[in-house]
Amino acid sequence: ETGVTQSPTHLIKTRGQQVTLRCSSQSGHNTVSWYQQALGQGPQFIFQYYREEENGRGNFPPRFSGLQFPNYSSELNVNALELDDSALYLCASSYERDSIFEQFFGPGTRLTVL
Amino acid sequence: KNEVEQSPQNLTAQEGEFITINCSYSVGISALHWLQQHPGGGIVSLFMLSSGKKKHGRLIATINIQEKHSSLHITASHPRDSAVYICAAFTSGGSYIPTFGRGTSLIVHP
């Protein structure tokens, strides 16, 4: 069983730039969620995709957007980067099982915005 | 909106001690997830529970739905247990979007 992978591991950008983060779901999982974790905080939900459709969104501006592909891999895009976007970005995949999603997390991408 | 609170925020223990980390939430949930996060960021799922108690090795998780409270216990703690422990609550009503606590940072000294 292949685990959740994310790329890149680390990334440094400057204000105003755009970034794309990638996530490969665990084999057999059709749902992916993205989270932002600032230093010293718990993860904050950005959005979730289920079978290529957005299935819920947290309190993040439209410059945070996503995609899920037919193979259930996913991208998180952030436009017009701001200093406060510096954080660890986590994706987690899951498969609906008895109406409870158990999520399996990737190692994260650490984004630094200068 | 579900508010998830963890206590304590920081915890230091000696090897062998019994550890308890608490998680409380404000609205009804369908399930609660305990996670372990090591330095560097990687998150490992420990337990997913909706009632009662689960045990895996030295880890025990309990949940009281009526009191909106869950606990994670570590018996015979070891330095390798040093990590941040996070609870995440899945709100009832068909939403499978979790609300996370801020985490409890545990350091176990040899």
Strand, coil or helix: what is A84?
helix
Q: Which residues of A touch B86 (CB under 8 A)?
A: 42-43
What confidence score (pLDDT) does residue B93 get?
Answer: 62
Q: Is B90 exposed, middle or buried (0-12, 13-18, 19+ CB in 10 A)?
A: buried
As a 3-state breakdown, chain B gives helix, strand, coil percent values, each rounded to 5, of: 5, 60, 35
Residue B63: CB atoms within 10 Å: 22
Task: Spell out the per-residue pLDDT of chain B, length 110, in tens.
Answer: 778 999 999 999 999 999 999 999 988 787 899 999 988 778 888 998 889 999 999 999 999 999 999 999 999 999 999 999 999 998 766 556 788 999 999 999 99
Strand, coil or helix: what is A14?
coil
How many helices (H) and strands (E) chain A has is answered by 0, 11
Tell me the two tokens of residue B73. 């216990």
Q: Is A88 on the interface with B (CB under 8 A)?
A: yes
Please, are residues B35 and B23 in contact by the beta-carbon 8 Å criterion? no
Nearest to B21 by CA among B110, B107, B97: B107
What confidence score (pLDDT) does residue A38 get?
Answer: 92
Contact A105/B43, CB-based, under 8 Å?
yes
Strand partners, B86: B35
Q: How far apart are CA B33 and CA A94, in angstroms?
A: 13
Nearest to A69 by CA among A92, A45, A51: A51
Which residues of A, range 38-57, sit inside 8 Å of B by Cβ? 40-45, 48, 56
How many CB pairs below 8 Å do chains A and B form together?
A: 63
Q: How far apart are CA B3 and CA B26, in angstroms?
A: 5
What confidence score (pLDDT) does residue B96 get?
Answer: 66
- Per the model's pLDDT, the better-predicted residue between A17 and A49 turns out to be A17
Confidence grade of residue A101 (pLDDT, cut at 50, 70, 90): low
Q: What is the pLDDT of residues A58-81, one digit of tens each?
A: 889 999 999 999 888 999 999 999
Cross-chain CB nearest to B30 (options A35, A99, A110): A99
Tell me the two tokens of residue B72. 């994670």
Residue B48 to chain A, least CA–CA distance (Å): 7
